[in-house]
Amino acid sequence: MKRIFLLSLIFFGLIVFTARVGNAQTERETGLHIGNIIPDITLNDLDGNPRSISELRGNIVFVDFWASWCRPCRRENPVVVEAYKMYSNKNYKDADGFKIFSISFDSKKEDWIKAIEDDGMEWEEQVSDLKGWRSAAAKKYNVRAIPMNYLIDQNGVIINKNLRGHQLEETLKNLVKE
């Protein structure tokens, strides 16, 4: 009798363990690698309203780290603006649309606003905590140099990162419905 009870207990334990391992492997991990769900962050927009990446779920989102004082960022901004103009109103295979979530590492609001205006960055999702390199975003996303970016799918999963030049447009083109 004890033997049957012990075998039943072991069998039940194996079933539970297998079920847990199976579920863990199907759930996506939060992290900074392609295939991970991007960690969420909430920062204030130009009007002081809190904005989060997770608010944009359902869309393809380009998460862009930049600053007004960063020359490479400013050279890259026209490419990002062009991609936004070309792809923000397209129909996507599995997503509602295309959004840009710009995270600025500026420390002076006036400089941040002027760069947005000068570069024609017309999307709404412009955020910063105005702490420069001490930004919560720099820490959370391990940003060591800018420009830096992630392209995430409608579920918040990182599908590409550090896209430069026309790589963003080429990647978006493959996500659009034909």
- Full-model pTM: 0.84
Domain assignment present for 143: yes
User: What pLDDT, on a 0 to 100 scale, did the predictor assign at position 28?
Assistant: 85
Helix (H) or strand (E) holding 96, with range, is none
Q: 80-89: per-residue pLDDT in tens?
A: 999 999 999 9
Domain assignment present for 95: yes
Domain assignment present for 1: no
**CATH number of the CATH domain containing 92:** 3.40.30.10
Domain assignment present for 24: no
Domain assignment present for 48: yes
Average pLDDT, the chain: 91
Beta strands in the chain (DSSP E): 42-45, 50-52, 60-66, 98-104, 126-128, 148-152, 158-161
Domain with 48 in it: 30-173
Mean of pLDDT values over 92-121: 98
Q: 38-80: per-residue pLDDT in tens?
A: 999 999 999 999 999 999 999 999 999 999 999 999 999 999 9
Domain assignment present for 135: yes
User: What pLDDT, on a 0 to 100 scale, did the predictor assign at position 27?
Assistant: 76
Say whether pLDDT at 147 is over 60. Answer: yes
Number of domains in the chain: 1
- More confident: 53 or 18: 53
